[in-house]
Amino acid sequence: MKFHNLRDFIAVARMGGVRPAARDLGLSQPSLTKSIRQLERELGMPLFDRTAKGAVLNAFGHSFLVRAPQAANELKRGEDELHQMAGSSGGSVAAAVSGLPCLQLLPGALRVFRRRYPQARVRIVEGVYAVMLSELRTNALDFALAPQPTRPLGGEFVVESLFQDRCVVVGRKGHPLRGAKSLAELLDAEWVVTGEAGPQSIEFDAAFENNGLRVPQANLQCESLIALLSIIANSDLLVFLPQKWLGNRVTDGLLAEIPVREHIDTPAICLIRREGLPLTPAAEALVNALTLEAQHRKNQRAGKNAR
């Protein structure tokens, strides 16, 4: 079984036929058909039913598709690792990055990373747990940088805390409640939650309950960075966010803190990766660049506080 056989099978299965898969891969239809038949001979059974509409996955094909992407991704990662060990500046890295590290750490970290791997292909997706964990399991992602999960992820993942920020109430610039001094004054405001555990996140509820307050209604959950920025900047909705979301080129002039007196807990930002699977040199380099950028930001903040 060869890597290109797996790649071709996955493409045909996901594109719904040989013709669109061949177009997507830049191959001829006969060569793609030959590759699929080689794979079927290797496995000793058909993976597709041939119909007038094209190739359709059969029961064997559906079962094999569950395993094939993980195997193909790991083979590709192994190939990249060998080339990187030999000094290559290419390869590929894929990571899920949540809002705070995306705004604060990613730009500077990528500049550092590019000095060592100028030819590497980098894929960044939003750090939404439903997508992130699935792609980590299939090795489509090398690692994730996201808030500490509210539930244990089990032994298949390694979770390493990197840094933590202060959480604040955030609204648009000029928000009508900008003069509020406590959470009690914000109970009748409209809120949006960003957690991954349903319409009311655990952290959102705890912010009010820990201060002896009723939990206000929050009927909107948003797990997209761009959507959240747009919603908050163009409405009177409020949200709990790490303080470092503010004062950068993306949010400056759009969002502002409403400085309440209560302390609001926020989960640490963590590095999440598969247990037992070492990162490639390029992925390790990007993690190191992100970690150094986080430390640099922390030292900058400590220096300002000292002054």
Q: Are residues 289 and 142 in the same domain?
A: yes
Helices vs strands, H then E, count in the chain = 10, 12
Tally of domains in the chain: 3
Q: Are residues 175 and 252 in the same domain?
A: yes
> Has residue 200 got a pLDDT over 80?
no
Q: Are residues 67 and 78 in the same domain?
A: yes
pLDDT given at position 266: 81
Instruction: Tell me the residue range of the domain where 105 lies.
Output: 92-164+268-306
**Please, are residues 135 and 73 in contact by the beta-carbon 8 Å criterion?**
no
Per-residue pLDDT of 3-17, as tens digits, reads 888 888 988 988 888
Picking from 61, 82, 103, the residue at the C-terminal end of a domain is 82
pLDDT given at position 198: 40
Q: Are residues 140 and 288 in the same domain?
A: yes
Per-residue pLDDT of 23-43, as tens digits, reads 988 999 899 999 999 999 998
Residue 143 DSSP SS3:
strand
Phi, psi of 171 (to 5 degrees): -140, -175
Instruction: Name the most confidently modeled range: 57-71, 76-90, 110-124, 242-256.
Output: 110-124
> Has residue 305 got a pLDDT over 70?
no
Q: Are residues 209 and 149 in the same domain?
A: no
Give me the sign of the Cα torsion angle 229, 235, 237, 243. positive
- Do the domain assignments include residue 216? yes
How far is residue 111's CA from residue 132's CA, in Å, rounded to a whole number? 24
How far is residue 106's CA from residue 90's CA, in Å, rounded to a whole number? 19
pLDDT given at position 232: 95
Picking from 239, 258, 277, the residue at the C-terminal end of a domain is 258
Q: Are residues 248 and 277 in the same domain?
A: no
Entry pTM: 0.71
Q: Are residues 174 and 150 in the same domain?
A: no
Picking from 45, 61, 82, the residue at the C-terminal end of a domain is 82
- Do the domain assignments include residue 87? no
- Do the domain assignments include residue 119? yes
Q: Tell me, what CATH number does 243's domain have?
A: 3.40.190.10
